[in-house]
Structure 1
Amino acid sequence: MNFGAFARSLTRLYSTSSIEGLTAGESQLYNKLQKAFDPIRLRVADVSGGCGSMYAIDIASKSFEGKSIVKQHRLVNDLLKEEIKDMHGLQLRTSSK
């Protein structure tokens, strides 16, 4: 299943307009990404059933303009490298718009 189909199947997605109801893990990732990238769009969801072992992140930021998808993903992965160590997986979607 591709990220788009998977993301649409999620019942909980969070945007930059509200972080109410985030789990502790989602909130930690959300706040770190928000501070580093000042995103236009940011969605963070624990897709592991609540245990925090897998997350889906959808982020759009002007910081990514002119960068390839690989470079955009590297920026996010570098920022979250400590958190990623404890994850089973990370689904990442980035864009500049």
Structure 2
Amino acid sequence: MANTSRYTFSISHSDHDIFSFLENKRKTTSISSYIRNLIRKDMGQAGLNEEQFEDMYQYLLRRLQETGTAVSFEVVRKPIVEDEDKDMIMNLF
């Protein structure tokens, strides 16, 4: 059996919404798994930059294509603000 570390956390009586959410979450997954996934998500957000995400995306896409799981597709990146909108905004000033 693998060695595990135990952590305990408390939920205040006033946090009924959190308690209810966790009770519902227990019906579909273990709380330990849920917390580990939240921590991994936080760790990933803190440490990865856009270039690393792009590298991961390319790697995953390549692996999916190699296994025949995914079909080839292109990602079209649209600017946040279209040129027409930029002109309209600039005309306001």
Task: Tell me which interval the TM-score lies in, with the shorter structure as reference length.
Answer: under 0.3
**Whose helix proportion is higher, 1 or 2?**
2
State the TM-score, normalizing by the size of structure 1: 0.23
**Whose strand proportion is higher, 1 or 2?**
1
State the TM-score, normalizing by the size of structure 2: 0.24
Larger radius of gyration: 2
The higher relative CO (CA closer than 8 Å, separation ≥ 6) is in 1
